[in-house]
């Protein structure tokens, strides 16, 4: 039977936070007020690392710039972001980890709290078809409809990741508890709820709190970027 390999993205497959870097990029090119946006971006990032992030407050902040510009303009900026920021953050160790699971025939999926507009092109660079991300709402059903600045459905964060993974697997007539083996690679204590649900949790480049938790539970610790 097919095994499941789930990957967090930011600071797990990437040695950076794509959500944070996107915000910094928008500030650098003058799309948003650089001083205000950079300060708020840093505040939310520190809250995330400390495990106290208000996800709804953060998403109102992060998705607002998407609602203020056309999809064509956003794509142009995102293409530049990929070339200027993300391309240099792709590491062979992370690409090799994904490829090992793909070569084994495992069902691979990135499960990230960062929104799908920012992350889908990054996930495609890893050759991964499936993405579960926070979904920005749009003004219509057209895939290129403009963004509203709101969230569609459940934010893919903490316990929300569990529900979103269950829903995704159900759409493919699969269930987590029926997989012979399931992996989840993550760096963050925020992902503890989903790490507890898989058969093979792997603390990957873990933050201080997750490193301590993994040691207590005898979970493997993987340093991709050491």
Q: 144 pLDDT exceeds 90? A: no
Alpha-carbon span 11 to 212, nearest angstrom = 17
CATH of domain 18-88: 1.20.1440.100
**pLDDT above 90: percentage of residues in the chain:** 91
Mind telling me the catalytic residues?
8, 10
| pTM exceeds 0.85 for this model | yes
CATH 3.40.50.2300 fits 4-15+90-222, yes or no: no
- Domain segments of the chain: what residues? 4-15+90-222, 18-88
Condensed to tens digits (0 to 9), the pLDDT of residues 69-96 reads: 999 999 999 999 999 999 999 999 999 9
């Amino acid at each position: 039977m097919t095994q499941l390999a789930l990957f967090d993205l930011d600071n797990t497959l990437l040695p950076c936070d794509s959500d944070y870097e996107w915000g910094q990029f928008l500030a650098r090119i003058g799309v948003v007020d650089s001083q205000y946006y950079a300060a708020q971006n840093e505040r939310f990032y520190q809250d995330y690392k400390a495990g106290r992030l208000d996800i709804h407050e953060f998403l109102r902040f992060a998705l607002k710039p998407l609602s203020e510009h056309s999809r064509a303009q956003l794509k142009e900026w995102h293409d530049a972001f990929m070339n200027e920021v993300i391309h240099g953050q792709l590491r062979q160790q992370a690409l090799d980890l994904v490829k090992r699971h793909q070569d084994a025939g495992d069902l691979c999926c990135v499960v990230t709290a960062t929104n799908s507009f920012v992350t889908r092109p990054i996930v495609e660079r890893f050759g991964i078809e499936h993405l579960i991300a926070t979904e920005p709402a749009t003004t219509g059903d057209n895939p290129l409809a403009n963004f509203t600045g709101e969230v569609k459905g459940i934010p893919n964060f903490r316990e929300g990741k569990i529900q979103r993974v269950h829903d995704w697997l159900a759409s493919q007539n699969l269930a987590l508890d029926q997989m012979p083996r399931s992996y989840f690679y993550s760096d963050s204590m925020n992902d503890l709820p989903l790490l507890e649900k898989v058969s093979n949790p792997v603390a990957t480049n873990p933050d201080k709190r997750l490193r301590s938790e993994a040691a207590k539970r005898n979970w493997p610790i993987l340093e991709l970027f050491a």
